[in-house]
Amino acid sequence: MLKDRIALVTAAGSGIGRAGAIAMAREGACVIVTDLDGAQAQETLALIEAAGGRGAAFKLDVTDDAACGRAVTQILEAHGRIDVLHSHAGVQIPGRLEDVTPDQMDSAWALNVRAHFVLVQALISPMRSQGGGSVIVTASNSGCQYDRGMISYTTTKHAAVAMVKQMAVDYAHENIRFNALCPGFVDTRFNAGFETQMGGRAALESYVAGSIPMGRWASVEEIAEGIVYLASDRSSFVTGLALVIDGGEIL
């Protein structure tokens, strides 16, 4: 579905980001894998190449505006285009209003909203010149509902969904599509904030079993199928969507 597409993925060193990168490579894309941990990005690339895929990998701090600009320039110089961006980096900080410091709220905003903004902004001109593209921003089903005791996470994920919808309506006529990926509970290390907020692993497991209609976690591979869909022409008339993949939790 993605033969010869050039895809850039941030925070692809583990979890959903890694699974999505591998899935896009399996569908024929050349995947540029980035992560704050450069060694983990290289591990993802090794998995892609071991399966017969192709790509490149390097360290990228998405909170560094200049580094994001350089990354886009570097990829364009090497490949001539960027067809897909999966902007996946984020942070989960637990706590209610009185528990979260202003600095923590700033950190959540920097990763969960601003970093996506900066990276996407750098891609608008080249995507316009090439005739379009697909931008996928990872938000969360927390961007479509409200979580107890998670003010910074829920606020910034709602903002990410709103930003995606605004970008979608502004650029639809240029064939640049913007969609938000909104996973529910996936059993990765990213859930440390929710685990703390709920009172430990056992309590989190109990929540997943009792509160999600399908009664289980999602696998990273299940979320990756949504990424491939949004990246590919199978979603060619889809823009401004918050694609919730959560086993019915939001219901």
Say which of 153, 171, 207, 229 is annotated catalytic: 153
- With CA atoms as reference, report the closest residue to 18 among 31, 5, 3, 30: 31
Residues near 171 by beta carbon (within 8 Å), at least 6 away in sequence: 124, 178
Q: Residue 45 — φ and ψ, nearest 5°?
A: -60, -40
Strand order in the sheet with 133-138: 54-59, 30-35, 6-9, 84-87, 133-138, 176-183, 242-245
β-bridge partners, 242: 180
Active site residue 229: no
**Entry field: residues in the chain:** 251
Distance of CA 75 to the CA centre of its chain: 19
Catalytic residues: 153
